[in-house]
Amino acid sequence: MKFTTPLKSNSIKIMLLGSGELGREVAIEAMRLGIETIAVDKYENAPAHQVAHRSYAIDMKDKNAVLELIRKEKPTYILPEVEAISIDALFAAEAEGYTVIPNARAVSLTMNRKGIREFAANELGLKTSKFIFAKTLEELKSACDTIGFPCVIKPVMSSSGHGQSVCRRAEDVERSFEMAKSARGDASELIVEEFIKFDYEITLLTVRNGKETVFCEPIGHIQKDGDYIYSWQPMPMIRKSQKKAKKIAKDITDGLG
């Protein structure tokens, strides 16, 4: 790994597009490695703004504003950290030779439930819960009848679980529709998912370095009514389940590139 000193002509620079609590932690760790940090968000004094070498408040959905800042700062790496950013700006930055991590295609797919679900189920052939997309209330009612109750209803794009609900009966479909439509993000289309009674939920952080794929220990999660409660690591898993989780994670990350 190459180490540099911040604020020099040869410094490694990262630009965080999104400067919330997670961005703050990334900035702190990067600075410990001698990396120059540039924190960007839509509002002043975001958490990462308070620790980064430089900070900016711009409309991150504005392609031109994002590109103008990238060209000004010339970061070594661009790290998208939130959903509310211009994907077109990321593709344009890549075309100009900048490195976006994860790449713009991966960001485009993973920030939209329709994109990542169709990618996983249709392109990669991975096993997923049953799902149907709907735009109108009538389409949603039909989708729920097809999937069956209970089912999970979410906007195709939202953050922190906003707008999602478990719909347990036909009488609740309209309430779930209104809840999803009022969420921040893109609620122009909704996804109806089969309700799965799983034993536990994990995150398997996966890193590709061009030569190999590395997996962190699985992280267990507890949620209640769609809200995050707490996590722990490592999550105890039988060897067969952990091996299968790694296979799925590798298939996805290899497919995203």
The answer, yes or no, to whether residue 105 has pLDDT greater than 90, is yes
27-60 residue pLDDT tens: 999 999 999 999 999 999 999 999 999 999 999 9
Query: Which has more confidence, 182 or 1?
Result: 182
CATH of 13-110, one of 3.40.190.10, 3.40.50.20, 2.40.128.50, 3.30.420.40: 3.40.50.20
Query: Which residues make beta-bridge pairs with 194?
Result: 151
The answer, yes or no, to whether residue 1 has pLDDT greater than 70, is no
Sorted by where each begins, the domain ranges of the chain are: 13-110, 129-194, 201-246
The residue written with tokens 């409309």 in the block is: 59
Distance (Å, whole) CA 235 – CA 224: 18
The answer, yes or no, to whether residue 211 has pLDDT greater than 90, is no
Quick one: pLDDT band at residue 184, thresholds 50, 70, 90? low
pLDDT score for 185: 65
127-174 residue pLDDT tens: 999 999 999 999 999 999 999 999 999 999 876 667 889 999 999 999
DSSP-assigned letters across all residues of 60-119 = TT-HHHHHHHHHHH--SEEEE-SSSS-HHHHHHHHHTT-EESS-HHHHHHHTSHHHHHHI
Q: What is the reported pTM?
A: 0.85
Cα 254 to Cα 22, 49, 110, 202: the distances in Å are 25, 33, 14, 20
pLDDT score for 209: 85
Q: Virtual CA dihedral for 7, 12, 17, 21, nearest 10 degrees?
A: -80
pLDDT score for 4: 86
Distance (Å, whole) CA 224 – CA 133: 24
Question: Is the CB of residue 222 less than 8 Å from the CB of residue 210?
Answer: no
Cα 239 to Cα 106, 242, 247: the distances in Å are 29, 5, 12
**CATH topology assigned to domain 129-194:** Dna Ligase; domain 1 (3.30.1490)
DSSP-assigned letters across all residues of 20-56 = SHHHHHHHHHHHHTT-EEEEEESSTT-GGGGTSSEEE
Q: Which of 212, 204, 161 is nearest to 184 (CA)?
A: 161
Cα 215 to Cα 96, 103, 243: the distances in Å are 31, 19, 11
65-91 residue pLDDT tens: 999 999 999 999 999 998 889 999 999
What is the mean pLDDT of the segment spanning 204-221?
94
Q: Are strands 13-17 and 165-167 parallel, antiparallel or unpaired?
A: unpaired
Q: What is the residue-averaged pLDDT of the chain?
A: 94
Q: Locate 72 and state its tokens.
A: 């000004």
Q: Locate 185 and state its tokens.
A: 């993000």
Question: 147 by DSSP, 3-state: which?
Answer: helix
Query: Which has more confidence, 113 or 159?
Result: 113
The answer, yes or no, to whether residue 183 has pLDDT greater than 80, is no
